[in-house]
Amino acid sequence: MVHTPKQKRSQEIDDHKLLKMVLPLSAYSVDQAKAQVSTWPLSQMSIRRALAIHCLLQLFEIQAGYTVKKGDLFDDVKLYFESNYKVDICGSAEMGKLVKLIFNAPTKRAGSKSGAKYCYKDIKMKDDKVAWFDTNRPKKVSFIDNSVRFKVLIQPCTNCALDDMFEQFLYDQKFAVSSLDTSDHRLRAVSTMLVKSDVLLHNFMSSVTRDDILTTMTRDWNSLDIITLLKETSHLPTNAVTLISTFPTVLDSTSYSHFSTSKKDFLQRYYKIQYDRQRANSNKLKMVQFLAELFFICNDTSLSNFILNFKYVATTLLRHLSMTQKASFGSYWMLYCFLDEFIQFLLEFYCYKKSNHLALTDR
């Protein structure tokens, strides 16, 4: 006589069967759905997927003509799920399968080629759930929106630890982040920008230690008529264009013109940073003073489009170097990666320290 093992109580079933089981619960509240699902003979993984299906049915509905970014959808579902269901959410890949299963939602890439994001078509968040997310969704730290205008953070920085980190950056010291308020997501985001900038700048400076590399970068820069280009295509002030044209002097380790005592100290004037010039890394200090001076030349006219102008100039230069097969393309690309991160930090840091809560563009 053959004895068959008893069937286990916990079962793994496919998502199609789970959807059929959960659909009758779509009108149930979260607690009611959890109570009902907990009585089913399912494994913990299947219970979690069943609750994820119920959550998606609670939050979204089919609506032609609407799109939802894949990343935003997962962030919202994760927030709502962990806040209300009190269970860890399944992974983003598994969540994507459930979205397609429930709503039969096709995907598309939306946005410019370099910044395109995957979106789900023909679904939208239910109107009665929008208010919950307006109240509970964390404020995103971003200085730039769809019209390329950076957003000022809601509150000024009241923790001087970020100032200390900036001094450590200038002095080439190891960052001491233990004093940061880790519960402040704005502070974490801005400090992360600074740490990433330091790594990127270190990588760039390590790659251009030879004089011949800097000479090649300067020659290639001068091969592009940057002044004419900016005057014709950007809205930067004339003195800002002139300052940009002198950028190769910032890369020259023998040039100290941009932080000499004869020039204004823009760090102390606008960022209220008190530091010892003698201890500061000369290359970092030149770069910071150059960018700070450039920001505040543009302050009253076109700072709102500074990022747009920066990216345009950088892209034009890199395209020129690539098409003409210049040897310094790789070096300028590494420099661009640093500037892209560090300019964001400087703008956010300035807004972070303002006490009047006004955007630079409103001044």
Higher-scoring residue by pLDDT: 153, 177 = 177
Asked if residue 174 is part of any domain, the answer here is: yes
Backbone region of residue 272 per phi and psi (left: phi > 0; alpha: psi in -120 to 50; beta: other values): left
From residue 62, give the alpha-carbon distance in Å to each of 33, 93, 103, 126, 309.
Answer: 21, 21, 6, 9, 40
Tokens of 349: 């840091």
- pLDDT at residue 153 tops 80: no
Q: What residue has token string 């950028």? A: 247
| Domain enclosing residue 117, as ranges | 15-136
CA distances from 63 to 24, 104, 107, 124, 139 (A): 21, 12, 14, 6, 27
Residues 90 and 80: their CA atoms lie apart, in Å, by: 13
Q: Are residues 257 and 292 in the same domain?
A: yes
Burial 109-138 (b: 16+ CB within 10 A, else e): eeeeeeeeeebbeebbbeeeeeebeeeeee
Residue with tokens 């019209």: 147
Percent of the chain with pLDDT over 70: 75
Same domain, 87 and 128: yes
Strand 117-125 to 107-110 pairing: antiparallel
Tokens in use for 145?
């929106």
Are 190 and 162 contacting, i.e. CB atoms less than 8 angstroms apart?
A: yes
Q: Do 328 and 198 share a structural domain?
A: yes
CATH of the domain at 84: 1.10.10.10
Say if 93 falls within a structural domain: yes
- Is the same domain home to 120 and 191? no
pLDDT at site 217: 86
Position 64 in a domain: yes
Counting the structural domains of the chain, the total is 2
**Residue 233 pLDDT more than 70?**
no
Per residue in 251-279, pLDDT (tens digit) is: 776 655 444 444 567 677 767 777 777 88
84-93, 220-229, 252-261 — most confident range: 84-93
Residues 337, 240 share a domain: yes
- The answer to whether 116 and 110 are in contact (CB under 8 A) is yes
Residue 102, in any domain of the structure: yes
CA separation for the pair 244, 171 (Å, rounded): 25
Q: Are residues 31 and 108 in the same domain?
A: yes
Nearest to 28 by CA among 38, 36, 18: 36
pLDDT at 165 over 60: yes
8 Å CB contact between 7 and 38: no
27-67 pLDDT tens trace = 899 999 999 998 988 888 888 889 999 999 999 999 988 88
Any domain includes 145: no
Is residue 107's pLDDT more than 80? yes
State which H helix or E strand residue 145 sits in: none
Q: For tokens 């709503």, name the residue.
A: 103
Kindly state whether residue 147 falls inside one of the protein's structural domains.
no
- Residues β-bridged to residue 108: 119
| Judgement on whether residues 328 and 247 belong to the same structural domain of the protein | yes
